[in-house]
């Protein structure tokens, strides 16, 4: 089929393509950061094309190309294709148009690579006869979900993209196709991704309970077809792809001419993809949040008037132990009583519950307050005993009175994390992206990170984030540019972007991608002039 031909052209499984592509982004940024003269640095640009001519595309009609007949399996750029080089089109197109061609070409070739990996998940794992005999029908359904629907959608999408590429050696647009497929077909991704919590749990359970399953999976993973990649790396492909697709459209959007038809279709496609990605994220969170809230409810015993914990619109933001300072009355009190005693906090998106841990993995609730009525204040360092201490003020507690707690965290990062979670509108050390200011410290992820706590942010390779706050013990509070998600992560996961020109370019591109109307753009322009 056409899809197979394109896959043979690319020759890479999606996991390999994705890793190679993101590492190239990191290396490009490192090279730009090492430039001695920032004025000569070209932020966020690919390797310059050999084309420098200022002629327009209209001067010469470019030839047609059947890209899919090319059996070369190298990881190619559009401009590396022999058909492109031999056509003379590189001497016709503007350098910016060549960069746009590369961005559109990457979307097509990466979809082919993704389809190839999906195909392997189905043919090599899902349809394996030994695996079929081991798995219950219900287990197989949870493990593979609606992957056949996802693969059918990818194939249809790829066929339309391939047809567009075959029309002309110079690709006219791909975002109109992305838009149509996102609106009409991509809901299958929401179904697949929402099942992720149960999928992961079932997979772990099967590995633990069924030695035969573990053995077959290990043997299948060793097949050269899998290129050393794990079964679980195939299972998470759809979620990775829908997120990456949004980033690829963002990349195209940064390169199209402003106020053009291609900008309009790219903005439309991006908006629809963002809706699907958000629905996927919500699907995953909803499944795990409901179970988590039920578990917490069972552990709480109320010393005060009971508060119903479980609600469809409530979820956990942070939980953990802090030290509450006791009021010392005399020097004898200090000698006989501990200065601090342990308390345990459950912070939800709309509610704070303050407890003490009691035997049997239970928590006795002795105070609570709506999250909107919390205020925090850092205590200036007053010696070792008061290091990492902050004041938490409840403007209206469970007794409808104002209450204050002096709390000590185990480290500076833990103190800052609690303060930002308890009072999210409090000023951070650095100005956030949403302030629309021109420069802000930025970091690029060079090691993937999986969030361990609700207030942490999972990072993918090459993610770029604004740094909102940092601690002396190695944690950063960041805001990712491509989706404005915020959270904490270890500073060792990234490298700061040193070149101010690259930082400015990153922000400018981000504003363009997320603009909702022209007024926002005018606001950015006036800030830049200041």
Asked whether 192 and 147 are in contact (CB, 8 A), the reply is yes
370: phi then psi, degrees, rounded to nearest 5: -60, 145
pLDDT averaged over every residue in the chain = 84
User: What is the pLDDT at residue 21?
Assistant: 85
The arrangement of strands across the sheet holding 374-378 comes to 300-302, 362-370, 351-358, 340-348, 316-325, 403-408, 389-394, 374-378
- What lies within 8 Å, CB to CB, of 460 at 6+ separation is 22, 243, 445, 448
User: What is the pLDDT at residue 429?
Assistant: 65
Residue 524 has pLDDT above 90, yes or no: no
List, for residues 417-443, the tens digit of each pLDDT value: 999 999 887 666 665 545 555 568 999
CA distances, 101 to each of 97, 172, 221, 244, 253 (Å): 6, 9, 36, 18, 12
Please give the Cα distance from 249 to 512 (Å, whole number).
12
pLDDT band at 338 (very low <50, low <70, confident <90, very high): low
Q: What is the rounded average pLDDT of the residues 91-115?
A: 93
User: SS3 string of 192-226?
Assistant: HHHCHHHHHHHHHHHHHHCHHHHHHHHHHHHCHHH
List, for residues 371-404, the tens digit of each pLDDT value: 999 999 987 766 666 788 999 999 999 999 999 9
Q: Give the DSSP letter of residue 124.
A: I
Q: Which of 204, 158, 151, 155 is nearest to 177 (CA)?
A: 158
Residue 353 has pLDDT above 50, yes or no: yes
Q: Which of 107, 115, 17, 8 is nearest to 67 (CA)?
A: 8
Q: What is the rounded average pLDDT of the residues 342-363?
A: 96
Residue 447 neighbours by CB distance under 10 Å: 12
- What lies within 8 Å, CB to CB, of 520 at 6+ separation is 511
Please give the Cα distance from 75 to 81 (Å, whole number).
10
Residue 153 has pLDDT above 90, yes or no: yes
Q: Where are the alpha helices (DSSP H) in 231-308?
A: 231-235, 237-255, 261-299
User: What is the pLDDT at residue 383?
Assistant: 66
Q: Which residue has the tokens 């951070």?
A: 428
Asked whether 194 and 283 are in contact (CB, 8 A), the reply is yes
- What lies within 8 Å, CB to CB, of 268 at 6+ separation is 175, 179
Q: What is the pTM of this model?
A: 0.78
Please give the Cα distance from 368 to 394 (Å, whole number).
8
Q: Which residue has the tokens 């490009």?
A: 28
Q: Is 299 helix (H, G, I), strand (E, B) or coil?
A: helix
Domains in the chain with CATH codes: 2-28+76-290 (1.20.900.10), 303-327+338-423 (2.30.29.30), 428-528 (2.30.30.40)
* Of 383 and 362, more confident: 362
List, for residues 124-136, the tens digit of each pLDDT value: 999 999 999 999 9
* Residue 449, beta-bridge partner list: 459
Q: Which residue has the tokens 């039920």?
A: 294
User: What is the pLDDT at residue 14?
Assistant: 86
Q: Are strands 403-408 and 389-394 parallel, antiparallel or unpaired?
A: antiparallel
Q: Any idea what the Cα angle at residue 352 is, between residues 348 and 357, rounded to 5°?
A: 105
- What lies within 8 Å, CB to CB, of 181 at 6+ separation is 153, 156, 157, 160
Please give the Cα distance from 422 to 413 (Å, whole number).
14
List, for residues 462-509, the tens digit of each pLDDT value: 999 999 999 999 999 999 998 889 999 999 999 999 999 999 889 888
Q: Are strands 316-325 and 403-408 parallel, antiparallel or unpaired?
A: antiparallel
Q: What is the rounded average pLDDT of the residues 508-520?
A: 66
DSSP string covering 461-479: TT-EEEEEEE-TTSEEEEE
């Amino acid at each position: 089929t056409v899809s197979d031909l394109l896959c043979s052209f690319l020759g890479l499984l999606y996991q390999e393509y994705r890793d190679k592509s993101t590492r190239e982004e990191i290396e490009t940024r490192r090279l730009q950061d090492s430039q001695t003269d920032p004025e000569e640095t070209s932020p966020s640009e690919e390797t310059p094309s050999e084309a420098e001519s200022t002629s327009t595309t209209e001067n010469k009609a470019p030839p047609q190309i059947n890209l899919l007949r090319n059996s070369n399996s190298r990881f190619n750029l559009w401009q590396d294709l022999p058909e492109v080089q031999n056509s003379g089109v590189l001497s016709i197109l503007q350098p910016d148009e060549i960069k746009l061609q590369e961005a559109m070409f990457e979307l097509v070739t990466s979809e082919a690579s993704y389809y190839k990996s999906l195909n392997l998940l189905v043919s090599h794992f899902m349809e394996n006869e030994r695996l079929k005999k081991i798995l219950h029908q219900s287990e197989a359904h949870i493990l593979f979900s609606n992957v056949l629907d996802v693969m059918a959608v990818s194939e249809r999408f790829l066929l339309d993209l391939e047809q567009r590429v075959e029309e002309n050696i110079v690709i006219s647009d791909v975002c109109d196709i992305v838009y149509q497929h996102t609106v009409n077909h991509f809901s299958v991704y929401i179904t697949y991704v929402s099942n992720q919590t149960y999928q992961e749990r079932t997979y772990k359970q099967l590995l633990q309970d069924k030695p035969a399953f573990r053995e077959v999976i290990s043997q299948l993973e060793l097949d050269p077809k899998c290129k050393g990649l794990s079964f679980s790396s195939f299972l998470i492909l759809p979620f990775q792809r829908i997120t990456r697709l949004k980033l690829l459209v963002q990349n195209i959007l940064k390169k199209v001419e402003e106020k053009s038809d291609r900008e309009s279709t790219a903005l439309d496609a991006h908006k629809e993809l963002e809706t699907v990605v958000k629905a996927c994220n919500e699907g995953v969170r909803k499944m795990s949040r409901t179970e988590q809230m039920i578990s917490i409810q069972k552990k709480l015993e109320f010393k005060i008037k009971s508060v119903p914990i479980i609600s469809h619109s409530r979820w956990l933001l942070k939980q953990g132990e802090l030290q509450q300072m006791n009021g010392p009355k005399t020097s004898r009190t200090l000698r006989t009583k501990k200065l601090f005693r342990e308390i345990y906090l459950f912070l939800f998106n709309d509610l704070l519950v303050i407890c003490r841990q009691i035997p049997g993995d239970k928590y006795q609730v002795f105070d609570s307050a709506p999250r909107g009525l919390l205020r925090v204040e850092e205590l200036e360092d007053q010696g070792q005993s008061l290091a990492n201490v902050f004041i938490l003020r409840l403007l209206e507690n469970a007794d409808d009175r104002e209450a204050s707690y002096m709390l000590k965290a185990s480290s500076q990062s833990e103190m800052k994390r609690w303060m930002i979670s308890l009072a999210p509108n409090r000023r951070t050390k650095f100005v956030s992206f949403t302030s629309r200011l021109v420069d802000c410290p930025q970091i690029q992820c060079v090691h993937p990170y999986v969030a361990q706590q609700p207030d942490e942010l999972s990072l993918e390779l090459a993610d770029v984030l604004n740094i909102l706050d940092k601690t002396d013990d190695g944690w950063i509070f960041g805001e990712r540019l491509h989706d404005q998600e915020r959270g904490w992560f270890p500073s060792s996961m990234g490298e700061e972007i040193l070149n101010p020109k690259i930082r400015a370019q990153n922000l400018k591109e981000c504003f363009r991608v997320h603009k909702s109307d022209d007024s926002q753009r005018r606001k950015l322009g006036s800030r830049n002039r200041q």
